[in-house]
Amino acid sequence: MSRSAHPAGPRHADVLPEGHYSAPPADLNALDPKVWAQTVERDADGVVTVGGMAVTRLAEEYGTPAYVLDEADFRARARAWRTAFGTDADVFYAGKAFLSRAVVRWLDEEGLNLDVCSGGELATALSAGMPADRIAFHGNNKSPEEIERAVRAGVGRIVLDSFQEIVRVAHIAQSLGVRQRVQIRITVGVEAHTHEFIATAHEDQKFGIPLAGGQAAEAVRRALQLDGLEVIGIHSHIGSQIFDMSGFEVAAHRVVGLLKDIRDEHGVELPEIDLGGGLGIAYTSDDDPREPHEIAKALTEIVTRECEGARLRTPRISVEPGRAIVGPTAFTLYEVGTVKPLDGLRTYVSVDGGMSDNIRTALYDAEYSVALVSRASDAESMLARVVGKHCESGDIVVKDAFLPGDLAPGDLIAVPATGAYCRSMASNYNHVLRPPVVAVRDGEARVIVRRETEEDLLRLDVG
């Protein structure tokens, strides 16, 4: 297990034992509900449908590759988080996982708040009508222009990431005659991925202000003295794709310890704590994520217990799931272009996309599942690797895949759980055009982000 290869902050790595891959599934036509969006099923003809639409029809109408998003599933997951945390807590969807104006409207309608971490994300949120006071602005190097825009827009909180930023935001807010609500992001010396976490005194990473050495306490001390700032709480984000709650337990213990020190020194009890995001989802049948209600119960209990121990009023909790809401709701639909058996090794299946629409496999060694979706097949399974069309041998979408041995050019295959960090991290490598996002609901499909065109590409190239 690699415990240190992934930088902190927006961490999406799945870390699995070396040489790990599952045995072939008993039935290659089966669709594990753990990894597929809620309304996905295989119809009587063997064609996979989502929201009542056949993937063959989606491919005809919208082309491939395409991200296909199950709107009902997105809304259900957003609502489940909202309901699980209730009215005494806030759920901020982490926009970096996937952001579009349609998604912002769904979040608004389902009562969630929104995290943004750039001017572009802020612009998207505001243009879709998300009330500014439900937006949190993140980032370790927000530009003065971004800060000014966020303050002018009236964002509900800015999460401060450094000593310099404390002064910078205070100065901008004061010059605009505003007292900006802020949280201070600290690093508590906990790094969590999947089934493990490590607790250390120091965290060697770019985000936040270390608790170690009294730095976080000093940051709060300074922020409390500045007229432009209203310090509403402490923020901690410990990792990504986490299944094990014990990392949050250590983090909450340390955050509450700081709240207590602040109370003892300054006589103020900060009213909020944010425990970040990072909750895991199932990319393959081996993953066992927790339900939002279990997570809410565990986090609430941990914070309540810690606060009772420290004789503090329990602060309002917020969480920031990104992947756990949008990840499972989409799959990427590809057309098979070539099938190349390599004797004694495996079969390379080339699709019409690749690392430009899903960089996670190359970047994090992420594991994915894949299925033939345009028809059912009774053929024997073959060990395959699904690769893209880029000029790069690391252009792998699914490293170890079992697919039917009769797979042929023209078949449609789909990779589930690509809702998070795929479209949002997509690139134009090899001048490949980024796929559309097609939202499906109740038998109707609608493009929410259109496919890029060569015109789009050439528009930026001024010659």
Ligand X SMILES: *Cc1c(COP(=O)(O)O)cnc(C)c1O
Asked if residue 94 binds ligand X (CB under 6 A), the reply is yes
Interface residue with ligand X among 228, 292, 322, 354 (CB under 6 A) is 322
Name the one range near ligand X by CB under 6 A: 124-132, 221-229, 272-280, 302-310: 272-280
Cis peptide before 65 (omega within 30 of 0): yes
Closer to ligand X by CB, 187 or 374: give it.
Answer: 187
Closer to ligand X by CB, 51 or 322: give it.
Answer: 322
Asked if residue 103 binds ligand X (CB under 6 A), the reply is no
Closer to ligand X by CB, 55 or 114: give it.
Answer: 114
Give the chain's end-to-end CA distance (angstroms, integer).
48
Active-site residue (options: 117, 307, 391, 422): 391
Closer to ligand X by CB, 292 or 436: give it.
Answer: 292
For residues 168 and 189, what is the distance between their CA atoms, to the nearest angstrom? 26
Residue partners of 393: CB distance under 8 A and separation at least 6: none
Binding residues for substrate: 323, 360, 364, 392, 421
- Nearest C-alpha neighbor of 104 from the set 76, 67, 74, 138: 74
Binding residues for ligand X, total number by CB under 6 A: 19
If you search the block for the tokens 């996670």, which residue do you land on? Answer: 360
Closer to ligand X by CB, 293 or 431: give it.
Answer: 293
Asked if residue 385 binds ligand X (CB under 6 A), the reply is no
Least Å distance, CB 296 to ligand X, is 14
Which token pair is 100? 């579009």
Name the one range near ligand X by CB under 6 A: 63-71, 89-97, 341-349, 452-460: 89-97
Catalytic residue status for 391: yes
Asked if residue 240 binds ligand X (CB under 6 A), the reply is yes
Task: Mark 114-153 with x for binding to ligand X (rule: CB under 6 A) and - for no binding.
Answer: -x----------------------x---------------
Asked if residue 273 binds ligand X (CB under 6 A), the reply is no
Burial annotation 44-56 (CB, 10 A radius, 16+ → b, else e): eeebbbbbebbbb
Asked if residue 278 binds ligand X (CB under 6 A), the reply is yes
Binding residues for pyridoxal 5'-phosphate: 278, 320-323, 421
Q: What are the phi and psi torsion angles at 332 (to 5°)? A: -100, 125
Least Å distance, CB 90 to ligand X, is 13
Element (H, E) at 459: helix 454-460
For residues 458 and 449, what is the distance between their CA atoms, to the nearest angstrom? 19
Applying the rule CB under 6 A, the residues between 410 and 439 that interact with ligand X are: 420
For residues 99 and 97, what is the distance between their CA atoms, to the nearest angstrom? 7
Which token pair is 46? 């063997």
The DSSP secondary structure of 222-233, one letter per residue, reads HHHT-TTEEEEE
Check if the beta carbon of residue 119 is closer than 8 Å to that of residue 147: no
Catalytic residues: 391
Residues in touch with ligand X (CB under 6 A): 9-10, 94, 96-97, 115, 138, 237, 240, 276-279, 320-324, 420
